A = this chain, B = another copy of it.
């Protein structure tokens, strides 16, 4: 069986439309970079994070970034995502954005597995085994 994944490195180039009037990548785009890295990790695990026909879907309950240095147009950055916690219904990621050796930003994001309740609203639910079995916690901090 394939090894469980606990981290993923995603390379991303800053696009023109993502740069704001201060000529740096707008701070809101880091959240998209982090999510793109997450979805790339899920694809590497043979999964898609999109809502499934059986109703399971993943909602974000928290997200944050601290910004250390700016990214500019056409910069290439590495988005390093690590799983830092897995509970019955949730997963938490830590994220480091770097450009070469330079630390650009540090992020975090928590998702909760949900399914549709009787009234159609999403309620938290245990992560299905076929998803849970594909992931593990990253061993160390960094």
Contacts and interface: CB of A to CB of B under 8 A. Distances in A.
A49 interface: yes
Contacts of A87: none
Interface in A1-54: 15-17, 19-24, 26-29, 31-32, 35-36, 39, 43, 48-51
A117 interface: no
A31 B63 CA distance: 10
A65 interface: yes
Contacts of A15: 32, 35-36, 39
Given A28-B35, A64-B65, A20 B19 contact: yes
Interface string A62-99: 11111100100110000000000000000000000000
A23 B51 CA distance: 11
Nearest to A108: B64
25 contacts: A15-B32, A16-B21, A16-B36, A16-B49, A16-B50, A17-B20, A17-B28, A17-B32, A19-B20, A20-B20, A21-B51, A22-B51, A27-B60, A28-B28, A28-B35, A43-B74, A48-B74, A61-B66, A62-B64, A62-B65, A62-B66, A62-B67, A63-B67, A64-B65, A70-B122
Closest 3 CB pairs between A and B? A64-B64, A19-B21, A28-B31
